[in-house]
A and B are shown apart, each in its own frame.
Chain A
Amino acid sequence: AQSVTQLGSHVSVSEGALVLLRCNYSSSVPPYLFWYVQYPNQGLQLLLKYTSAATLVKGINGFEAEFKKSETSFHLTKPSAHMSDAAEYFCAVKSGFNKFYFGSGTKLNVKP
């Protein structure tokens, strides 16, 4: 069965610093992987997705993620954090016909 593990429920960075949010997955087949962002009192918004094309995936708001099969990882990065990046981030993997498993989420705090 597929699953997703996000290391670090809270990450705090300074404005302008590198953002690194970690996601590891388990999957018996080549996975489809996603990163979503959730702002307070809102639904989830897709940041980016991996669909077995390029291993480095670029998303919205300057985020990108690299699929590493050998490490079963799909970490999310952004070179320079903005205050507006403060939110909760979820990694997800697609399973079966149309079922999705989400990680437990990482809350990103950006300090001025």
Chain B
Amino acid sequence: EPEVTQTPSHQVTQMGQEVILRCVPISNHLYFYWYRQILGQKVEFLVSFYNNEISEKSEIFDDQFSVERPDGSNFTLKIRSTKLEDSAMYFCASSEERVADTQYFGPGTRLTVL
């Protein structure tokens, strides 16, 4: 069964450094998402992406964040200058269609900012 993959599984970085989290969505999917989950808290929507554009973003997704689909398979989340509070599990998801379609989630990347 096709699945969403994410790399790395765990990323440790120093405060102020840039990080890029990578995701490979399911190949025929058209909609892509990033979520984060701070330890012990709820899953928070960050951004949705379609047709090489951001379609929705949350208040969390400020200028420090950016997303890109650099080729036909990868979908990346960049954090330009990490803060301690960026430490969280980051999940990528993809769906085939937009309207109430099933989102398939990757296993997540745990980001630790020191």
Interface positions of A (Cβ within 8 A of B): 32, 36, 41-46, 49, 51, 90, 92, 94, 96-105
Contacts and interface: CB of A to CB of B under 8 A. Distances in A.
Contacts of B33: 98, 100
A97 B31 CA distance: 11
15 contacts: A32-B100, A36-B105, A43-B91, A43-B93, A43-B106, A44-B103, A46-B102, A51-B99, A90-B42, A90-B43, A92-B43, A98-B33, A98-B48, A101-B45, A105-B42
Contact of B105 (A44, A96, A98, A101): A44
Contacts of B31: 98
A12 B56 CA distance: 37
A98 B105 CA distance: 15
Contacts of A32: 99-100
B57 to A, nearest CB: 8
Size class of the B contact interface (CB-based, 8 Å): 20 to 34
Contacts of B91: 43-44
Contacts of A103: 42
Contacts of A97: 48, 55-56, 98
Q: Is the interface of A mostly helix, strand, loop or mixed?
A: strand
B108 A102 contact: no
Given A46-B102, A97-B48, 4 more contacts: A32-B100, A43-B108, A49-B100, A102-B42
A52 B58 CA distance: 25
B39 to A, nearest CB: 12
